[in-house]
Structure 1
Amino acid sequence: MSNIFITGASSGIGFETAKALALRGHTVFAAARRLDKLEKLRDFQIVPVELDVTSTESIEKAVQTVQEQAGRIDVLINNAGFGFYGALEDVDIADARQQFDVNVFGLMELTKVVLPIMRTQGSGRIINTSSMGGRMVAYFGGWYHASKYAVEALSDALRMETAGHNIDVVLIEPGAIKTPWGAIAADNLEKASGAGAYAKEAKRASASMRKMYEGSMISDPAVVVKAMVQAVEAKRPKARYLIGFGAKPLVFAHAVLPNKLFDAIMRRAV
Structure 2
Amino acid sequence: MPKQKNIIITGTSRGIGYELVSLLTDAGHNVLALSRDAAPVSGLDISNCWCFSCDITDKKDIARVRQFLNETWTHVDILINNSGYLISKPFSKLKREDFEDSYSVNVFGAAAMTQVVLPFMKKDGHVVNISSMGGIQGSLKFPGLAAYSSSKGALITLTEVLAEEYKETGPSFNCLALGAVQTEMLEEAFPGYEAPTTAKEMAQYIMDFSLTGNKMYNGKILQVSSSTP
Fold-level similarity (TM above 0.5): yes
Distance between the aligned counterparts of 2:38 and 2:201, measured in 1?
26
Distance between the aligned counterparts of 1:98 and 1:44, measured in 2?
34
Q: Secondary structure at the match of 2:156?
A: helix
Q: Determine the structure 1 residue equivalent to 2:168.
A: 164
Summarize the alignment of residues 12-23 of structure 1 with structure 2, pairs less than 5 Å apart. Answer: 12-23=15-26
| Contact 2:6 2:31 (8 Å CA) reproduced | yes
Residue 212 of structure 1: CA displacement? 1.7
Distance between the aligned counterparts of 1:176 and 1:169, measured in 2?
23
Q: Determine the structure 2 residue equivalent to 1:126.
A: 127
Distance between the aligned counterparts of 2:70 and 2:199, measured in 1?
29
| Cα pair distance change 1:41/1:158, threshold 3 Å | farther
Residue 98 of structure 1: CA displacement? 0.7
Q: Does 1:9 align with 2:5?
A: no
Distance between the aligned counterparts of 1:110 and 1:224, measured in 2?
22
Q: Secondary structure at the match of 1:130?
A: strand
Distance between the aligned counterparts of 1:84 and 1:237, measured in 2?
34
Per residue, is there more strand in 1 or in 2? 2
| Contact 2:123 2:172 (8 Å CA) reproduced | no
Give % identity: 26
Per residue, is there more helix in 1 or in 2? 1
Q: Secondary structure at the match of 1:110?
A: helix
Q: Determine the structure 2 residue equivalent to 1:65.
A: 68
Q: Say which is worse superposed, 69-78 or 227-236, in terms of deviation.
A: 227-236
Residue 172 of structure 1: CA displacement? 1.6
Q: Pick from 200, 205, 218 the counterpart of residue 196 of structure 2.
A: 218
Residue type of the alignment partner of 2:193: M
CA displacement, residues 87-125 of structure 1 (integer Å, 9 cap, x when unaligned): 22211211220111011101101111212222xx44421
Distance between the aligned counterparts of 2:124 and 2:67, measured in 1?
18
| Contact 2:74 2:120 (8 Å CA) reproduced | no
Aligned residues: 220
Residue 182 of structure 1: CA displacement? 1.6
| Cα pair distance change 1:173/1:63, threshold 3 Å | same
Q: Determine the structure 2 residue equivalent to 1:150.
A: 154
Select the structure of larger CA radius of gyration.
Answer: 1
Q: Say which is worse superposed, 70-79 or 60-69, in terms of deviation.
A: 60-69
Query: TM-score when scaled to structure 2?
Result: 0.89
* Structure 1: gaps (5+ residues): 186-208, 252-270
Residue 222 of structure 1: CA displacement? 2.7
* Structure 2: gaps (5+ residues): none
Q: Secondary structure at the match of 1:68?
A: helix
